[in-house]
Amino acid sequence: MGVGAAGSFARGEVDRHSDLDLVIAVEPDSLDAVLHERQAIARSLGPLLASFVGEHVGEMRLLICLYGPPLLHVDLKFLALPDAGHRVDENAVLFDRAGRLARVLDASAPAYPAPQPQWIEDRFWTWVHYLAAKLARGEVFEVLDGLGFLRARVFGPLLLAARGAQPNGVRRLEERAPECVERLGATVALHDPGDCARAVRAAIELYRELRAAAPPGLACGADAEAAAVAFFEEVADAL
């Protein structure tokens, strides 16, 4: 019934490295049949090199495709027409049978999930304890992965949201919050226990700074913070 383009195309930010995020809206009673045929549909569109379903992001309606040469990443999201209004980004309508997709989009607005300060605070100090415990065991790769998780789930979203940008992990953070690059870069570590300790300490200080700008009413876990930081410092001192 309609095809929309989301992401950088809809925002007018396409460059030579962009992927294409396409929404394929179909009649609700045809969705199961279309999903069954999605691999064949993808192959019919061009020289398909590889494709897989987006179960790793919890979206079974998504088919992630690589076309080429030249190489082009294309996300094909198949959904029932009424569901097209539930979106995190604007959609540019590319094809619209009888104008129905445009009407669905006009009746709603995109809403990207905002970072939730209380959700983060309730978890952050447990994450710090986890990183410290892995550091104590010498599981340096686990610490590196954990720091990456904090950048993607805590620091990037908070920094981008504070600047009115879409809080999508650390996407385009260098462009949209260049003044934050040095502070965030301090949370990147080498595969070295001492450098990991330095990066975890930088992560703690960055979070405290961001938390200070949180809206009133945030319930801080002072006991958890004190205990987790004390444990981390004990581990760091023993390295």
Q: What is the CATH number of the domain that holds 226?
A: 1.20.120.330
122, 227: one domain: yes
Considering only CA atoms, which of 7, 172, 149, 165 is closest in space to residue 73? 7
What per-residue confidence (pLDDT) applies to 215? 86
What per-residue confidence (pLDDT) applies to 204? 98
131, 88: one domain: no
Where among 87, 106, 125 does a domain terminate?
106
What per-residue confidence (pLDDT) applies to 182? 96
Ramachandran region, residue 73 (left: φ > 0; alpha: ψ -120 to 50; beta: rest): beta
Considering only CA atoms, which of 183, 181, 178, 158 is closest in space to residue 168? 158
Q: Are strands 48-54 and 2-6 parallel, antiparallel or unpaired?
A: unpaired
- Please tell me the pTM assigned to this model: 0.88
What per-residue confidence (pLDDT) applies to 186? 98
Q: Which helix (H) or strand (E) holds 74?
A: strand 72-80
Task: Please check whether residue 64 lies inside any domain of the structure.
Answer: yes
Structure-token match 């007018």, residue found? 12
Task: Please check whether residue 112 lies inside any domain of the structure.
Answer: no
Name the domain count of the chain. 2
Domain assignment of residue 143, given as a range: 117-237
What per-residue confidence (pLDDT) applies to 197? 98
Low-confidence ranges of the chain (pLDDT < 70): none
What per-residue confidence (pLDDT) applies to 81? 97
Backbone CA torsion sign across 158, 160, 165, 166: negative
140, 225: one domain: yes
54, 158: one domain: no
46, 94: one domain: yes
Q: What is the dihedral of CA 180, 127, 142, 183, to 10 degrees?
A: 10
195-218 pLDDT, tens digit each:
999 999 999 999 999 999 998 999
d(CA 229, CA 232): 5
